Structure 1
Amino acid sequence: MRILVVEDEVKTADYLRKGLSESGYMVDVARNGHDGQHLIEEFEFDLIILDVMLPGLDGWQLLKLIRRRHQTPVLFLTARDEVEYRVKGLELGADDYLIKPFSFVELLARVRTLLRRGPPRESEHFQVADLHMDVLRRRVVRKEERLTLTNKEFALLHLLLEREGEVLSRTYIASQVWQMNFDSDTNVVEVAVRRLRAKVDDPYDTKLIHTVRGMGYVLEVPS
């Protein structure tokens, strides 16, 4: 089991890393919201322990980003004990809320409970025509040929496969893959789709990624 701790207090972060590691978990630590975002985008975690008051992105903002793409259990760990803060955290999608100072025994019990509960299982495999994606192994194959994709290309293809047959706007794709809104004159989505097509479609007769003029992109088998 792999746990991410997003905590800017050095002593608390080191304490959690040591205690959770000794309890048998793999532990990564981020000391601000932006580093936390980077790790969440790059790796899969079974649980995230999240402080509220963080440099860069705060805990509320980071939780919103997490919930756009993941159902990973999130435990808020914070000194803010006001009821409205706890309610806000739970309404934004946190699974549990623990106040500092805390007992490590209690935190460990909550961690184990959340890990037993786990997130709803998402699809691990996608198959469209002769294109296959294994999400957990991060493996993409077409016509028995392994495709080498960057992290963003993989995320983009994953999104298109999840929403097979649906036309996705450039703005929606940008918000899901890059977790932010791009100005209308930014062509980052077009560039990413072009690069993905070069690997997924160009070498093959059947094209799967299609442009819908004025609307966006869709992945489907042509009729």
Structure 2
Amino acid sequence: MRKLILLAAVFLISIVTGFAQNVKNFDVGPYEVDYKGDGDIKYRLRKGIDLYKYFGLKKDTVVLAAQSSYPVKGAFQLSASLAAHSYTGGSMILGLEGSWKQKIGGMLYFNSGLSLGVSLGKYGGRNNLKETMLLVGVPLSIEISKIDRKEASLFAAVGVTPVYYNTMKSEYPDSNIPDPKKNSGVYVAPKLEVGGYIPVEKCLVRLGFFGQYNINCTKNEIGAQTDANVFKDYMGCAFFGGSVGIIF
């Protein structure tokens, strides 16, 4: 019985003490403050208050999401190539090409640039004729690919390259036959290429395999013939090879 009376007395004193506390409530700027005494202070942001609007601040914090892909819209491509023909002769073409790659929609890219090459050949069917040509071209192509600087991808390209060729050296090194006439002219080379892109640090490495067919647009002089075709007669028209390039 005594414990019950003591418990009731404690409960009553707590209620009286609680009602006896003098809680002061007031606003300080955008905050609401409850003051009950020294060291007993509570505060909270008032309802409906936006601190940026209240203080006239600008929200200049930018949240950047981690970017998982870097699609290529436009880039410069530098590549080297090696192509050969061995059916009618022993021709080899070493080439260097620089071109601008521009996305034109979806997965389509248009490539245009300038190429420089050297054709080296020795043709046993023409008394071991040895010939060196300089090739300057303007490669144009349409490419299908999803090029991304973060991901490997495949590509297929079809194009055409008008080429100016000029014979720098033409001779019969193994005989006493007078050196043949040095020919020059223009040929057009349709080209089909397939390959892939491999991301390496900030660049893309481009590996390709291609085939092209050289269509001569100029009549050449071979001996007594003045309407000959150096490609069909001994150099060869169909060439196959590979290329290695870098996309900057």
Shorter-chain TM-score bucket reads under 0.3
The answer to which structure has the higher strand fraction is 2
Computing the radius of gyration from Cα coordinates, the structure with the larger value is 2
TM-score (norm 2): 0.21
The answer to which structure has the higher helix fraction is 1
Report 1 or 2 for greater relative contact order, CA contacts < 8 Å, sequence distance ≥ 6. 2
